[in-house]
Structure 1
Amino acid sequence: MTKHSEQAEDFTHDIFLKAFTKLNAFQERSSFSTWLYSIAFNYCADQIRLSKRMNVTTITEGHEQSMADSKDNNVQEETLQLVKQALETLTIDEQTILRMKYEDGRTIDEIAHVYQIKPSAVKMRLKRSRDRIYRFCQQPNQC
């Protein structure tokens, strides 16, 4: 959910501390990984909302690692930029649901548990998000 490795490390540390302190609250209604994921998701979403309110600017140190084959690198970079642009047309929740499903390999039921919604609502949100990305890619000079 965050694009910065140092921030991700900080989040991970805080999330595991939070999970450890709430371990006695785990009720085994879902798998442990789903419970932990919901803690992580909620923590990250809260932090992202907070950072947007504070309008924090981060400074990256160093430069991007250069690749030997610049043509392949340029194509990959262009593709990555197009994917980022398409994802930016979605809300944070829509982006997160897509990432949970396709990057993290979460099931519809696990996503529904994290968001506390019905599986049919997750399916509809996934479909709407994919449709929005499709429409974005249909625009001239996109995807």
Structure 2
Amino acid sequence: MTAPVAKDEDLIRMYLSTHKNKYFETLYQRYANKVFRRCYSLTKCSAKAEDYTHDIFIRVHSNLTNFKERSTFSTWLYSISYNYCMDQIRQGNRLTTVTIDDEMAHLIADESDSDQHEDQLQTLTLAIQTITNEEVKMLRLKYEHDLDIKEIARRYNLKDSAVKMRLKRTRDKIRDQYTYRLNI
């Protein structure tokens, strides 16, 4: 006899009370493909749909406390998915990029930039010192050694979604520490 399948709302309550990732990962596994398909239907681009799906789940994860069960979790999730995709599409239509050549870059930069850069680098170094060695290793695999998510997941014997979430949380920790240290 198999164990009964937990309802989405029960998984959310269990995650919020215990903060055990397995509950959120179950939700991710249930809905990641559906969210991807929704994103793809709006963007017609699999790379954007994949990025948006990841971003949506990060947003959902950080806003789980805002889920008040006025609708089903799937309805809430699809609403977030649709709104996120539409925001990204609108933003993409507004933004234009300008290429700056090397000669122009030298005209724009001034001497105080190197001092400011040095201060920022020192602040970033202090922020990075607040994360664990394991978090540093995973960041290095991704950003210095340019390994993809699947390879990192294989090395750590994790699911892709777990690696993405760990990288996101680590980046958030560093950003929060960096911002905090800049404002001291």
| TM-score category of the 2 structures, normalised to the smaller one | 0.3 to 0.5
Higher relative contact order (Cα pairs below 8 Å, separated by 6+ residues): 1
TM-score norm. by structure 1 comes to 0.44
| Larger-gyration structure (1/2) | 2
TM-score norm. by structure 2 comes to 0.35
The structure that is helix-richer by fraction is 2
